[in-house]
Amino acid sequence: MKKFFSKFIFSFKKPLFVGVIGDDWLQMKKIISYLLDSDPLIKNSYLVLGSNLSNLRGISDLKFFFKKSKLPVLLLTEIFDNENKISEIKRIIECLPKKGFLVVNSDSDLTQQLKRKAKAQILTYGFQSGARLRGSDVRVDENETNFKVSFDGNIVPFWLNRPFKRKDIYNFLAAISVARIQGINLVEISQSLREIGNRDEN
């Protein structure tokens, strides 16, 4: 009954929705929520859920929320090499409506194949030249990580108060992409992320 009531409320309010596919979706939820909460106009008016494709109920929920949200986003942080999971990802992408966004890593060999399944708008992230939101100039030392992000002609530096691995930086690029879709500008995102290393340690 509680789950039904939550879906009823969601259907009525139609908030922003982000569905994350990948084994690290819980970490991604934390980063995305941190960024969206930094904007008082967005805070408490969104929902982030995810799946590693091992839970069929979770997949069903993603499809429901895509349909009911006023701005649905599907974020792929990991493209699996299992054919069954790839097929499931394609089916989920096909459920994303035209008003939504597919956010995908353009550095993956499977990206082009998946993009062809989308009716929705597509925002790519990565380090290679084909990415719309592109990371570059990564420098990591024992105390911090810094890199640059370019998006639609704008370039903004990012500083994180902790050393992070390249996979982590991919996740930050993915979260930045979601925040941009929600209208948060790169400078504000950079300022919000600056202290995230300290928050992770608490």
Q: What is the pLDDT along the chain (202 residues), one digit of tens a residue?
A: 435 447 766 776 678 999 999 888 999 999 999 999 999 999 989 999 888 887 655 677 888 899 899 999 999 987 777 888 888 899 899 999 999 999 999 998 888 889 999 999 999 999 999 999 999 999 999 999 999 999 999 999 999 999 999 999 999 999 999 999 999 999 999 999 987 755 554 4
* Domain total in the chain: 1
Beta-sheet strands, E only, within 80-198: 101-105, 121-126, 133-140, 145-151, 154-160
CATH assignment of the domain containing 119: 3.40.1190.10
pTM: 0.90
| Closest C-alpha among 108, 128, 148, 144 to residue 21 | 108
The whole-angstrom separation of Cα 101 and Cα 17 is 10
Specify the pLDDT at position 51.
85
> In Å, what is the CA distance from 144 to each residue of 29, 158, 197?
22, 10, 9
How far apart CA 183 and CA 166 sit, in angstroms, is: 26
Q: Residues of 37-58 as b/e, b for ≥16 C-beta within 10 angstroms? A: ebbeebeeebbbebbbbeeeeb
Cα–Cα distance measured from residue 172 to residue 196, given in angstroms and rounded to the nearest whole number: 11
Q: What range does the domain containing 107 cover?
A: 2-201
CB 34 within 8 A of CB 199: yes
Span 110-167, pLDDT tens digits: 888 899 999 999 999 999 999 999 999 999 999 999 999 999 999 999 999 999 999 9
